[in-house]
A and B are shown apart, each in its own frame.
Chain A
Amino acid sequence: MSDKVNMKINGIEISVPADYTILEAARENGIDIPTLCYLKDVSKTGACRMCIVEIKGARALQASCVYPVSEGLEVYTNTKKVRDQRRVTLELLLSDHDRKCLSCPRNRKCELQTLADELGVTDIPFEGEMNEYDIDDVSPSIVRDNNKCVLCRRCVNMCKNVQTVSVIDTMERGFKTKVGSAFDMNLADTACVNCGQCIISCPTGALREKDNTKEVWDALADENKVVIVQTAPAVRAALGEEFGYPMGTAVTGKMAAALRRLGFDKVFDTDTGADLTIMEEANELVERIQNGGKLPMITSCSPGWVKFCEHNFPDFLDNLSSCKSPHEMFGAIIKSYYAEKHGIDPKNIFNVSVMPCVAKKFEAGRPEMESEGLRDVDAVISTRELANMIREAGIMFNKLPDEEFDQPFERASGAGVIFGATGGVMEAALRTAADTLGGKSVEEIEYHGVRGVDGIKEATVNMGGTDVKVAVAHGLGNARKLLESIRDGKADYHFIEIMACPGGCVNGGGQPIVNAKDKMDKDVRVERAKAIYSEDKASKIRKSHENPDMIMLYNDYLEKPGSHKAHKLLHTTYTDRGLF
């Protein structure tokens, strides 16, 4: 790493680390090179040819995203030849692209559109045959529109190499090359886990979430409906980006205000649901440890992970915690306890979850997620969809006052907030389990060993004399590695947290899309997590079981964690779905 090489870009002498690519060297020295197929840590194929540069002595133009720097290298990023070539390449791409930008969900956020603007494309001189594809919108979470695909393969690399879900790949060849699933199956018929990482990897509108805003608008317009919204912890950490706030700004208060102005009857915080999850999950863990239950116990909050397990690791289904995910728990409580308490007919309640996630859309539709014939959650929208609704309603987000969540669940613990980052569920559970197993309130509540963006994190925590071995994995590729090592008998834990998305929910498939260039400069996972951890730090209550609302809820209604009622409302089951 410390080795440096001297080279020249556009005649300027620079010194950069020897393991850099030309693209990295240029960017660090203030030279922008257009890219399309390159996505840091995900996709590095040299395929799109947008980032080509001239290299002294080289025959053809070279892709800077894959070309390693070397001593004495002379590179030109801005010659006429290079500019003309990039423009022709882009014109070619556009000649086989569905250019209905006005009605595209990525309008104004599309990397291809930005390139066309920046490279001065004024005309598409190459008329000719265009590939035409059916849109796959069968999945409840993800819509795939190959007509807008530029074959950068960022989604494929994400799905295959990072997530190891591998349900999309490159098919056919030549002009007919396309991204798809085997035998042109709909995503819904594959082992797709709906994590939506493909969506946030896509530079164009070829991948997008299934839009559920219409159902929400309809419910809001229906006078007979009590429309209750809850927002996941990671939403507040990213929503601001849609309105110009720097990455990592928590906009909790403005978000609550915006939701109220959109017309939601009650605005709740999924952190409350998270506290509830911890009450149940910590209890389940303690019971499994004390009563010889199936270990390691693995968290079940991430619906992408749960489906991944059902397809790829059916032998681990008994290891999954039986807890529903926080918003499902909370949805069930709203339609039971809350409805009862406030004399609302639960049939009239329409529960909306705002989630950083598109897998939650699938999860909400799982047959198990209901009580008394009513869906726990009626509609799930992503952070992006919420931002669209706010804009559509003409709400000037930046000018909103900071407001609180509604009673009776306005108080959530810091433990509930950190659910949004990798390691957060683990840390929250440890805070409660440590008190339970130790029989007293433990002062040390920050478990730094499980924080951060290392793919697999391990820690051993002594709780009341018992050494509890824990592990945290985020990103399904890491989850696969971890489970395989357990399967092979190479590793052994009591408790594991798995999040489908790299970095956890802050980097979920439903979060605001960060373009490839910004991803070169900052780590989305780290920046957004900062917002979460600072909110935890500022919380007065930082353990779920100390949340007075939880104490009230159990005293009034659920009796105790793991009670019969709690099981009926808050726990679920899983299915072996097979690989195909």
Chain B
Amino acid sequence: MNSLEELKSIRDKMFDTVDMRNDDSEKTNNSEYKYQVLVCGGTGCTSSGSMTLIEEFEKQIDANGLHDDVKLVKTGCFGLCALGPVVIVYPEGAFYSMVKAEDVHEIVEQHLKGGKVVTRLLYEESVHAGTDEIKSLNEIDFYKKQHRVALRNCGVINPENIEEYIARDGYAALGKVLGEMMPQQVIDTISASGLRGRGGAGFPTGTKWQFAANSKGDIKYVCCNADEGDPGAFMDRSILEGDPHAVLEAMTIAGYAIGACQGYIYIRAEYPIAVERLKIAIKQAREYGMLGKNIFNSDFDFDIDIRLGAGAFVCGEETALMTSIEGHRGEPRPRPPFPAVKGLFGVPTILNNVETYANVPRIILNGAEWFASTGTEKSKGTKVFALGGKIHNTGLVEVPMGTTMREIIEDIGGGIPNGKKFKAAQTGGPSGGCIPAELIDTPIDYDSLTAIGSMMGSGGLIVMDEDNCMVDIAKFFLEFTVDESCGKCTPCRIGTKRLLEILTKITDGNGTMEDLDRLEELANAIKAGSLCGLGQTAPNPVLSTLKYFRHEYEAHIKDKTCPAHVCKGLAKFTIDPEKCRGCSLCAKQCPVGVISGQVKSPFTIDTDKCIKCGACMEKCPFKAISKQ
């Protein structure tokens, strides 16, 4: 393919089929298929067995001779991972959740052949209460407040088919850029849109591109950071699994803008499905002439290669990522020189993350103003969050910048399960901080989050309830950074270790109030003195929990208790004399022999000597032993 006309003819050919999967009222319904069955092929649903569903559907569609009427589509993530595996059947938009292989027969018979939705399998939220009437996806609470830009194709198209992407205006932005725009116009458009990096720090994307464009050099590189290392975040993975071409298209546009002809996608090896889909996408893009020489008959060449990460969180840092692509230990380098001047292999390089790129084609097609009309003054557009932890609707959400934490947690996320109370949310993963319940109305944008001591980060959003100990959470993140510190600079290598040791001392019940001062002092020193972003942000979880949950720290130190009953070292095991029947099983079980008593009368535990292993509690047939 080498012209916009050809692109348009593919779009027209595929349009009706893909348009059927629209949830808005304007859809055309001219598809040659009577039904389209969309099965989520994202990692979450795959883990809960969606591949078996696809096989089962294939088999039964085959057996029933439904090929001409029914199209089976393996899509990317729908977002509601908690309900996986998810199957959506159009034109109705019937949202089947937690579907099992044995349910397929019923869907085929009743719905695809009989024309009647299988109510039993529908996600309850997707049905109007008291009726059988299906809500459109846009009306479901989970989706209602979402605004899908980066995720617009996820869960809609088959990511392994470039033509479905084209049907959704894919590669039209690239065509526009190469046909109508000068590189500087592209950069100006991105700058005007106000797009900021979605990977963490929120650096203006247009400015970054401008720097690289200004740098002289025959060879430049465009890199994509898909090394999503924040534990509990999976935005980038979902985009790559659901809409890989968007990233390829955006990188190619970036290449044109800065004068590069080679791109690298650095992706975690832990994301096998995303890697596979990317490989397929790159192959197809090359076949369709969207990558390679003379794209759209211009004299612009661009190609993309994949580089696999090998398990190092620090490689999400831009200079470390480049060092890793260069084939070394992923250690960061000092800046300046900045990558836009001297980056990968020593030449000007830009690096953006997956989500940032996913916005680019839409900005080009719809214009900078369209993009900037969403969001807040300084944070434009939308942000994708991976909602996890103690929340009903675990999954992927995309909301306009400025949406409050409350809207995300309560309206979209469906609140906290089991009637528990919301305690805090962690954004920005190990580099971020917690947002306590009293700040739940904070609008989510770069600057508001930074102001309260957290950060946007890449979009992990972990919800915690009253059963989570905030000191333990700080310790968890510190354990992570200690593990992931590259070891190059002193403050991060030794400082984070010492920080963790102080935290452990506190959770073991041996902390002093002076430790709190030391914790704060050291945390600030690590922030100020570390070489790269990892070290400079590693103390954030400690500082922000100290700021908002100092009382929990003090309870560990002064009262020697863990208010959430999480910290093992502070647990007290006691035997309820009312329930104890004196069977002596606990005493036999105790590895340190600190439980004593007369058979047939209540036993007691010497709590000073108890090592808090919990073996007694597990064995007690009368549930007489409790942990406090």
Contact = CB atoms under 8 A, between A and B. Distances in A.
Q: Judge: A and B partners, yes or no.
A: yes
B28 interface: no
A60 B525 CA distance: 10
B329 A66 contact: no
B487 to A, nearest CB: 3
Contacts of A63: 334, 531
A89 interface: yes
Residue among B333, B493, B495 facing the most chain A CB atoms (10 A cut-off):
B493
Contact of B531 (A47, A173, A177): A47
Interface in B235-279: none
Contacts of A85: 525, 528-529
Interface stretch (A122-130, A265-273, A508-516): A122-130
Contacts of B337: 68
A335 interface: no
B501 A47 contact: no
B487 A172 contact: yes
A50 B493 CA distance: 14
Nearest to B201: A59
B47 interface: no
Given A66-B334, A85-B525, A175-B494, A49 B482 contact: no
B485 interface: yes
A81 interface: yes
Interface string B473-502: 000000000111111111101111110010
Given A46-B531, A81-B528, A92-B498, A173 B490 contact: no
Given A92-B495, A128-B498, A174 B487 contact: yes
Contacts of A49: 489-491, 529-531
A279 interface: no
Contact of B490 (A48, A68, A81): A48
Given A89-B490, A173-B312, A175-B497, A60 B530 contact: yes
A15 to B, nearest CB: 20
Interface string B40-52: 0000000000000
A539 interface: no
Interface in A83-126: 84-85, 88-89, 92-93, 95-96, 125-126
B123 to A, nearest CB: 43
A18 to B, nearest CB: 13
Interface SS, B side: helix
Given A67-B334, A85-B529, A126-B522, A92 B487 contact: no
Contacts of A60: 527-530, 536
Contact of B501 (A88, A129, A170, A177): A129
A67 B336 contact: yes
Contacts of A61: 528-529
B623 interface: no
Contacts of A62: 334
B483 A174 contact: yes
A60 to B, nearest CB: 6
Interface size class of chain B, counting residues whose CB lies under 8 Å from the partner chain:
20 to 34
B334 A151 contact: no
A244 B493 CA distance: 38
B518 interface: yes
B485 A47 contact: no
Contacts of A129: 497, 501
A45 B488 contact: yes
Interface residues of A, number: 36
A158 interface: no
Interface in A35-57: 45-50, 52
Interface string B514-525: 000010011001
Contacts of A88: 491, 495, 521-522, 525, 529
A214 interface: no
Contacts of B536: 60
Given A52-B529, A60-B530, A126-B522, A47 B490 contact: yes
Contacts of B485: 173-175
A175 B501 contact: no
B399 to A, nearest CB: 28
Contacts of B490: 47-50, 89, 92-93, 151
A45 B337 CA distance: 13
A45 B486 CA distance: 14
A173 B530 contact: no
B528 A92 contact: no
Contacts of A175: 482, 485, 487, 493-494, 496-497
Interface string B304-341: 00000000100000000000000001000110110000
Interface string B200-227: 0000000000000000000000000000
Nearest to A54: B528
Contacts of A177: 486-488, 493
Given A61-B528, A175-B496, 16 more contacts: A46-B489, A47-B489, A48-B489, A49-B530, A52-B529, A63-B334, A68-B337, A89-B525, A89-B529, A92-B495, A95-B498, A173-B329, A174-B493, A175-B482, A175-B487, A175-B497
Interface of A: 45-50, 52, 60-63, 66-68, 81, 84-85, 88-89, 92-93, 95-96, 125-129, 151, 170, 172-177
Which 10 A-B pairs have CB atoms at the shortest separation, nearest pair first?
A177-B487, A46-B334, A174-B485, A92-B494, A88-B525, A128-B501, A175-B497, A66-B334, A126-B498, A173-B487
6 contacts: A60-B527, A61-B529, A96-B494, A126-B494, A175-B496, A177-B488
